[in-house]
Each structure stands twice: as C-alpha cells, then as structure tokens.
C-alpha cells in the first residue's frame, strides 16, 4: 500500500498529537490534523486501516549522545554501553532503553530513553488500535539535504539535527544561549579532526521564521512544507528505530496457525496442572527468599538513610561502600561533606541525586536536582566560596533542573 500514517506523539498524555496521511504514489497529503491529547488517538484507527504507521516522538524526552567505541572488539564494547554511560545519565541504567545508532569515526551515536516513557507511548498506540512499524526521535527525521545541520520550527521549539545520528529539541527561549555553545563544540570537533581551518556550518532550514545572527551558521532555505510533511519524508530514511530489542514488533502469525490454538491451549493446561505441585514448592521458596530480601533491604536502608529506592541491593551496597571509602580518602570526603552542609541548608530545595569522590584527585562529583535555575545558581555561588567549582551542562524538564557539579579544594 502506497499510503502511510505518520503520528507525532507528545511527552505526556495531555500534550497534543500531530498526524498526517501521505500517499507515496501520488506524492500528496491525503489528510492531516492535530489531536488535543493522547486519548484522542483512537479517532485515527479507521484512518490507519492497513496502512503502515510510523511514529515520531519528542527528542526532549530522551538523551541523544555520543561515546567513543573502538572498531576492534566493537561487539563486546557495545554490550557495555549502558555502564559506560552510567555517569552521564541521571536515571538508573536498569530503567533505560538504549539504542545504538550510526558511527562517526571513533564515536557511536547512542539514544537512551526510559522504559516507562517507551511503555507509555506504546500503551497509547495499543489502546487506540494502532500498530507502529517504527518509532523515531523527531529531530532525526529532519532531512540534512547534503548540509551538516538541519533546523525547523515546531511549536515553541526548534528541532535541530547536528549529524547523521545526533540532534536535540531546543526551546526557542534558549536558542540564543545554546546555539553558540553547540557551534563551539562543533568547531572543537573540527580541530580534533585536524582540519586546516574552522568552516561555517551549513544548516538546512525548513522554516521561514528562523533568524540566527552568527557568522558561524549559514542557513540554506529549503522548500517550505507542513512541519509534519517534512518529518514524514525524513522518517523513511531515519538512521535509527527505537522499536528494537525488547520493543521490536513481533511478527504476526499466519491465520493457519490459529487452527492449532485450541489444541495448544489444552496442552498448556495439562502442563500447568502437572507442574502445580512443583509450583507450590517453588512458591514457598520464593516467599522465604522475598522475606530475606526484604530483611536485607531494611538493614541497608537503616544504615543509609538517604536511600529510598532499592533496585539492585548488591550493586547499591558496593557503590555506597566505594563512595564512603573514597579509595582511601575517607577523611577528606567527610570533611568536604561537612563543609557543604551549610550550603545545602541555605538552598533546601536543591537535592543531590548521586555523589562520587576521587581521593587521588581530591575531587567530589555530584549530580543535583533543583526546582529552577535560580536555586542552582545560588547553590553554586555558595559552594564557590570554599571550592573550585566546575559546573556541567544543565538539563531542564517540566518539573526540575538537573546538573553535574565537580568540586576541588582551593
């Protein structure tokens, strides 16, 4: 079938969803529109019919990053990607879905999105009777058209693609601050690639309301279409599909196999009945194991008051012991914590989510979360009086602001 249904979901069920039906054969839009929320997706089930369903999701709901992976022993290195990214991702890696994208030299593009978010998107589609064939971050559907970058205005955001497998969603209010930093990072990559001179970045522009005043970016206007039309054309050549691994669509079984369904059900019942006795024994053992596990977690929480959630008790105990030992620098670690106590008391809304101490470098690295930028700036100002402070990138969502701070003794 030459017609396809394209849908762009929001981060939460309250966000609007855009959609478009495109005819590849006729090269024209059959229908398009915008739904007020995710609950309204059911209205698209009739439009979907037997058409392939391609889904775009907001890049702001995930992390798109790069990591150096040598080409030798690449398979083993890719298996360790979640652990290599553990320090750069605030969430627990066990809660994340990782998708490996394209390679650029020694670097591999990686996308990390929470399982909860993936399951939420898929639940909306399933409830609406829609079966997606692929799911792509919206910024990676922007066609580069032989340019180095691509940009498009979409609502109150700029979708920015900064490479074959890299990009981001940038709030328009942040553009003046963020774009110079992105350009500087790109120029630094040019230096690392030993280019003779820094070249201006050619940007494919798909909107007529984008004004960027910098000599380092050259906007090349592209034919103006509906934003969903631009993304629909680009998603077919997108370098990555989030529906991989655990979320890879299952093949639909042939109708002929359904004839054996009743026999399979009877066989399954017989097997279940045969295993009931053994299952009862296993259940008893599981209860005992759960009781011991609960006791262990209770003891662990009692000695680590700051821990409220336990995912892997052995891993968390090892991590906590390493942080306390500080590789032999326990005294310095506790001295720094005692000094920081006053700063935390003056900004009670700011909380640390992880702390790591390197005794060899006498360095404390912590990830913090605050309600807004003002709280984070105030905390940094207080800490800077006693320590050398390096502030990492600040990330913002609807509820809070996160950042990574590195402290060293003056």
**DSSP string of 181-224, one letter each residue:** HHHHHHHHHHHHTT-SS--PEEEEE--SS-----TTEEEEE---
Kindly state the helix (H) or strand (E) to which residue 134 belongs, with its residue range.
strand 132-137
* Cα–Cα dist 12/157, whole Å: 16
pLDDT band with cut points at 50, 70 and 90 for residue 258: low
Render pLDDT for 192-220 as a digit per residue (tens, 0 to 9): 555 556 678 999 999 988 887 677 888 99
Is the pLDDT assigned to residue 77 strictly greater than 70?
no
Q: Which of 9, 12, 10 is nearest to 399 (CA)?
A: 12
pTM to 2 decimals? 0.59
* Span of 49-63, 119-133, 273-287 with lowest mean pLDDT: 273-287
pLDDT at 73: 66
CA dist 25 to 28, 79, 191, 228, 308, Å? 8, 41, 45, 18, 56
Render pLDDT for 340-362 as a digit per residue (tens, 0 to 9): 888 889 999 999 888 888 877 88
Torsion of CA 302, 308, 312, 313, to 10 degrees: 0
Please state, as a whole number, how many other Cβ atoms lie within 10 Å of the Cβ of residue 116: 12
The SS3 call for residue 118 is helix
* Cα–Cα dist 47/249, whole Å: 21
pLDDT at 25: 80
Render pLDDT for 124-144 as a digit per residue (tens, 0 to 9): 999 999 999 999 999 999 999
Q: What are phi and psi of 101, to 5 degrees?
A: -100, -140
Is the pLDDT assigned to residue 10 strictly greater than 90?
yes
* Cα–Cα dist 356/363, whole Å: 8
CA dist 31 to 9, 99, 228, 275, 406, Å? 17, 32, 11, 54, 52
pLDDT at 255: 46
Q: What are phi and psi of 82, to 5 degrees?
A: -55, -40
* Cα–Cα dist 210/150, whole Å: 12
Is the pLDDT assigned to residue 223 strictly greater than 70?
yes
* Span of 5-19, 163-177, 250-264, 352-366 with lowest mean pLDDT: 250-264
Q: Where are the alpha helices (DSSP H) in 206-275?
A: 227-235, 261-274
Distance from first CA to last CA of the chain, Å, rounded? 67
Contact in structure between 177 and 190 (CB atoms under 8 Å): no
């Amino acid at each position: 079938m030459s017609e396809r249904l394209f849908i762009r979901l929001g981060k939460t069920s309250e966000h609007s969803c855009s959609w478009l039906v495109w005819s590849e054969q006729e090269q024209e839009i059959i229908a398009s529109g915008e739904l007020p929320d995710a609950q309204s997706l059911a209205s698209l089930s009739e439009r979907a019919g037997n058409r392939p369903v391609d889904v775009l999701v907001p890049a702001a709901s995930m992390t798109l990053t790069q990591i150096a992976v040598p080409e030798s022993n690449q398979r083993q290195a890719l298996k360790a990607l979640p652990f290599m990214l553990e320090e750069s991702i605030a969430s627990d890696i066990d809660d994340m879905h990782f998708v490996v994208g394209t390679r650029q030299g020694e670097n591999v593009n990686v996308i990390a999105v929470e399982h909860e978010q993936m399951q939420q998107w898929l639940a909306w589609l399933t409830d609406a009777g829609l079966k997606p064939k692929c799911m792509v971050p919206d910024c990676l559907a922007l066609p580069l058209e032989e340019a180095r970058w691509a940009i498009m205005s979409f609502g109150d955001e700029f979708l920015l693609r900064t490479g074959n497998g890299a990009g981001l969603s940038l709030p328009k209010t942040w553009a003046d601050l963020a774009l110079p930093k992105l350009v500087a990072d790109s120029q630094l990559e040019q230096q690392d690639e030993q280019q003779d001179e820094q070249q201006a970045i050619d940007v494919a522009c798909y909107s007529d309301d984008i004004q960027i005043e910098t000599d380092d970016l050259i906007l090349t206007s592209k034919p103006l279409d509906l934003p969903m039309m631009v993304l629909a054309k680009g998603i077919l050549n997108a370098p990555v599909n989030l529906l991989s691994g655990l979320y890879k669509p299952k093949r639909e079984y042939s109708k002929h196999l359904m004839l054996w369904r009743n026999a399979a059900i009877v066989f399954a019942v017989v097997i279940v009945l045969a295993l009931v006795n053994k299952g009862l024994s296993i259940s008893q053992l599981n209860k005992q194991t759960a009781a011991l596990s609960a006791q262990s977690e209770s003891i662990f929480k009692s000695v680590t008051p700051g821990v409220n959630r336990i995912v892997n008790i052995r891993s968390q105990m090892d991590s906590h012991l390493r942080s306390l030992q500080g590789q032999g620098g326990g005294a310095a670690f506790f001295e720094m914590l005692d000094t920081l106590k006053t700063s935390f008391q003056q900004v009670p809304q700011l909380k640390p989510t992880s702390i790591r101490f390197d005794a060899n470098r006498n360095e404390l690295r912590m990830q913090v979360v605050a309600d807004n930028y003002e709280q984070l700036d105030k905390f940094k100002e207080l800490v800077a009086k006693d320590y050398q402070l390096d502030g990492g990138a600040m990330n913002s969502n609807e509820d809070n602001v996160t950042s990574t701070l590195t402290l060293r003794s003056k």
